Amino acid sequence: MASQKIDDYIQSLPDIPAKRSRAQHQMREALLELYRKKPMAEITVQELCKKAGVARSTFYRRYNNITELLEEMEDDLVTILRANSVQFTRIEIFSGQSLDFLYKFLDDILKDRDVFLVFLVEHPNSRFIQKWRYAIEDFFRRRIRHFGKSLDHEEFNLSLLSSMLVESVAFYLEHPDKVDQDYILDYSFRYLEFLGLVDGNAT
């Protein structure tokens, strides 16, 4: 996962998600409901608008096709997660507060549980997963740079870290009866400790 690709994607995102109209929210909810029942390629603008209760002209004023609506949803999710993590960028890496980020990280996801369940489990969205991993890697890379730290084989280890965090969330959403939030957070923290990004003795 080349760092330049991550930089290009991150720089394309706004600092905060744009305000969306009621019609846009209705179309998003309709798309999510339809996506849970059939492949994205089989969803038509006509049935989406019927489900959302909006005119086709309303859809086409904002989007050229359903893919654009889906990509907007993806980018808004990533932007929200990034915006909510900014406060943790400059918290000392060797600090018990590092665990607070993981709690906030999971809490933000659970607020949009249905969306993440669809994108990660029911109909895995590889494009969204890649974008989310980019955001996670960018977050930790900025922390490392801010504190003048270094990480051996940085690109490799951050790639593994982002994959682990995404897969941990996906497993929890799919199997909430097999693992609880505290276990996921503790496991994630121990992995960060292994990489030298947090100090377990400071929790």
For the chain, the domains span: 3-13+66-202
The pTM (predicted TM-score) of the whole model is 0.86
Q: What is the pLDDT of residues 101-123, one digit of tens each?
A: 778 888 888 888 999 999 999 99
Task: Among 91-95, 100-104, 188-192, name the most confident range.
Answer: 188-192
The answer to whether 134 and 5 have CB atoms below 8 angstroms apart is yes
User: Would you tell me how many other CB atoms lie within 10 Å of the CB of residue 102?
Assistant: 20
Q: What is the pLDDT of residues 6-64, one digit of tens each?
A: 677 777 887 777 889 999 999 999 999 999 999 999 999 999 999 999 999 999 999 99
Tokens of 149: 């730290």
DSSP 55: -
CA 62 to chain centre: 23
Q: CB neighbours of 119 closer than 8 A, spacing ≥ 6?
A: 74, 125, 128, 129
d(CA 200, CA 189): 8
